[in-house]
Amino acid sequence: MRHLLTVLVLCNAGTSFLHPTARCAEPVTIDIGSRRELFVDHFLIDQLDNVRLTLNRPRDEGVTLEFDKPWEGLFCGYVTVIKDTEHYKLYYRGRPERGRDGDSGEVYCYAESSDGIHWTKPDLNLFEVAGDSKNNIVLADAPPVTHNFCPMLDSRPDVPAEQRYKAIGGTVNSGLIAWSSPDGIHWSRMQEKAILSKDMVPYRHMFDSQNLVFWSAEEQQYLCYFRVFKNGIRRICRSTSRDFLNWTEPVLMQYRHKGGEAPIEHLYTNQTHPYFRAPHLYISIAARFMPGRKVLSDEQAKAINVDPTYFNDTSDAILMTSRGGDTYDRTFLGGFVRPGIGAQNWVSRTNYPALNVVQTGPAEMSVYLNQDYAQPTSHLHRYSMRLDGFASAQAAYAGGELVTKPITFSGRELAINFGTSAAGSIRVEIQDVSGAAVPGYSLDDATEQIGNEIERVVTWKQGSDVSTLSGKAVRLRFSIKDADLYSFKFNE
């Protein structure tokens, strides 16, 4: 299997391929090919001088879908959003009354959209509720799968048409059950046996959350991320499969921060998925759960009519990333989406992110949060960001510099996603491995990039062509003044 993060180590003994954590006296060269690279971690960064990685919090776009049908209600949750070509599909648990996880009172609902912003609930006529089949339910009478049914669009190139959509669901006693569908609406069980069961997992309790699967084009296998408990704390495990039905022994995910270990916090859902513009990078907008961190008084809780058992804790959304393996990078420990103003935002199990970030405009992408949980106003909220805009390399007016580790690339032009002030700018120098400017690509030769664009081709005095450097080990030196640099990519 090809390593997700293959690096070329230039050692006196010759050329060898090692994991990026390998130690060598000579510089390590990372082959990025023509991939888009985001500044969400320090993976490519060698030096920062008056530049910092900054978390960019999404913009609140308001309520996008109300859970107002009789079969939906207060306890709707575990949402998945899928963009299939030009259509958007949304799945969520319907649960009008509090009950036991995985009982028969749970159904799975469906909504659709042409833009990811305005949603409709079609009458599917698949399942009857209270004597009427005019509803948007895609799965019912299938406990405990309907507790946390989580679909995915299978992007594996040779996937059979009848299995284009797949899903998993289940709790600790049932294990995770595999389902498939040709259209994301009509579902059938793939086999009776669970694909992952408690006998395969060496931790206490598991699966009672939103667990997920996806096909990784980078790793050429299916990945499953699911919830376990270790030492009383909600953690995440990962397992892999070539065929979706047979899975490897799970491994416990670790958290890294600034080269060391990150704090261990309760992560209720993980929502890990390949970022659609850079699928080698897995984005996780996880629900951070703070048990016993009570904010509301009894009077405040009564005023918003929250279920009496659901205001003793708080939660928010955090951002993690992974480049494969058993590690998440928690570059940013703070909240990605903070709870909003108002008592309704400070109850238990609210602010849980939906699975998947999707593009909702030419320069925009969206993440969705389940809010007002256990309240009559339960709904889905949309938050928007610029494309690649999870985080950025940012410098103030005085200016600063970012220098990458040695990389090799393939392509003819370098494009950047950036934004400056009217007085700000970004210039790019291409260096050799030792840090000397490559003739014709020095900072003095570089054209000052001013503006705010998702993709701007970088130029120097002689133009934009960098093809003579393709395949050679180089460094990129970004000179940044009162600006944000979100990503870069070498275009073929």
- How high is the pLDDT of residue 287? 98
Which pLDDT band holds residue 248 (cuts at 50, 70, 90)? very high
Residues 409/479, Cβ–Cβ less than 8 Å:
no
Which residue(s) pair with 36 in the sheet?
A: 489
Residue ranges and CATH numbers for the domains of the chain are 27-56+392-491 (2.60.120.260), 59-386 (2.115.10.20)
- How high is the pLDDT of residue 26? 66
Q: In whole angstroms, what is the distance from residue 353 CA to residue 289 CA?
A: 12
Q: How far is CA 252 from CA 188, 196, 305, 328, in A?
A: 30, 15, 38, 11
Tell me what the mean pLDDT of segment 4-25 comes to.
37
Q: Which two tokens stand for residue 393?
A: 């390399």
pLDDT tens for each residue of 301-328: 999 999 999 999 999 999 999 999 999 9
Q: In whole angstroms, what is the distance from residue 62 CA to residue 340 CA?
A: 11
CA gyration radius for the chain?
24
- Mean pLDDT rounded to a whole number for the chain: 94
Q: Look-up: residue for tokens 């306890």? A: 75
DSSP letter for 298, please: H
How many of the other CB atoms lie within 10 Å of CB of 444? 9
Q: Which two tokens stand for residue 47?
A: 């030096």
pLDDT tens for each residue of 86-120: 899 999 999 999 999 999 999 999 999 999 999 99
Written as one string, the DSSP assignment of 169-199 is E--TTT-BEEEEESSSSS-EES-SS-SB-GG
Residues 318/328, Cβ–Cβ less than 8 Å:
no
- How high is the pLDDT of residue 465? 98
Q: Which of 43, 165, 51 is nearest to 108 (CA)?
A: 165
Does residue 22 carry a pLDDT above 50? no
Which pLDDT band holds residue 204 (cuts at 50, 70, 90)? confident
- How high is the pLDDT of residue 57? 96
pLDDT tens for each residue of 379-428: 999 999 999 999 999 999 999 999 999 999 999 999 999 999 999 999 99
Q: In whole angstroms, what is the distance from residue 445 CA to residue 20 CA?
A: 32
Q: In whole angstroms, what is the distance from residue 213 CA to residue 38 CA?
A: 23
Handedness of CA 80, 230, 40, 313 (dihedral sign): positive
Percent of the chain at pLDDT exceeding 90: 92
Q: How far is CA 109 from CA 58, 122, 125, 127, 148, in A?
A: 26, 10, 12, 11, 11
Output b/e per residue, 427-437; b: 16+ Cβ within 10 A: bbbbbebeeeb
Q: Which of 80, 24, 38 is nearest to 487 (CA)?
A: 38
The region, left, alpha or beta by phi > 0 then psi within -120 to 50, assigned to residue 70 is alpha
Identify the residue with better confidence: 345 or 22: 345
Q: In whole angstroms, what is the distance from residue 325 CA to residue 226 CA?
A: 14
DSSP letter for 26, please: S
DSSP letter for 343, please: G
Q: In whole angstroms, what is the distance from residue 245 CA to residue 223 CA?
A: 11
Does residue 345 carry a pLDDT above 60? yes
DSSP letter for 363, please: T
- How high is the pLDDT of residue 165? 98
Does residue 125 carry a pLDDT above 60? yes
Which pLDDT band holds residue 16 (cuts at 50, 70, 90)? very low
Q: Which two tokens stand for residue 488?
A: 């870069």
How many of the other CB atoms lie within 10 Å of CB of 439? 9
Does residue 41 carry a pLDDT above 80? yes
Does residue 130 carry a pLDDT above 90? no
pLDDT tens for each residue of 210-229: 999 999 999 999 999 999 99
Which residue(s) pair with 98 in the sheet?
A: none
pLDDT tens for each residue of 428-471: 999 999 999 999 999 999 999 999 999 999 999 999 999 999 99
Written as one string, the DSSP assignment of 248-286 is PPPEE-EEEETTEEPP--EEEE--EEEETTEEEEEEEEE
Which pLDDT band holds residue 5 (cuts at 50, 70, 90)? very low
Does residue 15 carry a pLDDT above 70? no
Q: Which two tokens stand for residue 127?
A: 């399942």
Question: What's the burial of 61, exposed, middle or buried (CB within 10 Å: 0-12/13-18/19+)?
Answer: middle
